Every structure is written in structure tokens, then in C-alpha cells.
């Protein structure tokens, strides 16, 4: 089974801090994604990457950046955390291909609270 591991289940940070969320997948997937999930707003794509060192903006990239130096690792960076970035963050990966691009495997999520 594909395993997508997120570094922290719960995280509490202060406003203005730089925050790193790490995600590692063990199935050699080309595609990796970062989402946030908020009540009433569903799942929203922040950034995705379809190859090492490649990144594409999703629907809500403002205030975030990403890094993909190795195929298995995709990091989400909050440059200066703000209270409106309090959310559940979900990482996902998928195998490249017309049917499998959207066959997403998710991590357990990181609940980030910015105080």
C-alpha cells in the first residue's frame, strides 16, 4: 500500500513564524499535492508538483511556497504564518498517467493552529 506520511499531526505556531510542513511518500509517485481543508469550504489545492524541482500553483497559493528537492518529499512552507492559515493541511501523491493522475493517496493531515 502507498504510504504518505506527514511529519506532524498537530502543530501550534505563533503569528509571523515560518512554518515547515513535511510530506514523504514511499511509492515513487511523480505527482505530489498540498491541500487545505476548512469547514464549509471543502478541499482546496494550494500547490502541486509533477516532477522533482517542478511546482505549479493551485487555487490558493498566496502566503505559501513549496519545495521538492527529492522525488519522495514535498514540503509546504508558510513564510509568515497568519491566523487565517489555521487549517487542516493534507498532502497527497499520485502516479502520473491519464487514469492515475487523479487517483490520490492522502496523508493523515496536519491540524495547524496559528495563534
Partner 1 sequence: DAKTTQPPSMDCAEGRAANLPCNHSTISGNEYVYWYRQIHSQGPQYIIHGLKNNETNEMASLIITEDRKSSTLILPHATLRDTAVYYCIVRVAMVTNAGKSTFGDGTTLTVKP
Q: Which cell is 85 given?
A: 492559515
Q: Which cell is 23 given?
A: 510530506
Can you say whether the dihedral through the CA atoms of 4, 30, 44, 98 is positive or negative? negative
Measured from the Cβ of residue 98, the count of other Cβ atoms closer than 10 Å reads: 6
State in angstroms the smallest separation of the CB of 47 from partner 1: 9
* Binding residues for partner 1 (CB under 8 A): 4, 30-31, 33, 35, 42-43, 45, 48, 50, 56, 58-59, 90, 92, 94, 96, 98-99, 101-109
State in angstroms the smallest separation of the CB of 82 from partner 1: 24
State in angstroms the smallest separation of the CB of 33 from partner 1: 4
Judged by beta carbon, residue 30 or residue 72, the one nearer partner 1 is 30
* Closest CA relative to residue 76, chosen from 41, 106, 33: 33
Amino acid at each position: 500500500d502507498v504510504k504518505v506520511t506527514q511529519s506532524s499531526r498537530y502543530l501550534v505556531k505563533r503569528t509571523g513564524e515560518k512554518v515547515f510542513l513535511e510530506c514523504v511518500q514511499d511509492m515513487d509517485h511523480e505527482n505530489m499535492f498540498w491541500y487545505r481543508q476548512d469547514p464549509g469550504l471543502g478541499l482546496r489545492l494550494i500547490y502541486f508538483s509533477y516532477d522533482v524541482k517542478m511546482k505549479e500553483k493551485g487555487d490558493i497559493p498566496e502566503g505559501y511556497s513549496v519545495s521538492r528537492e527529492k522525488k519522495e518529499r514535498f514540503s509546504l512552507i508558510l513564510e509568515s504564518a497568519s491566523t487565517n492559515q489555521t487549517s487542516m493541511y493534507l498532502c497527497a501523491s499520485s502516479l502520473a498517467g491519464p487514469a492515475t493522475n487523479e487517483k490520490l493517496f492522502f496523508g493523515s493531515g496536519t491540524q495547524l493552529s496559528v495563534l
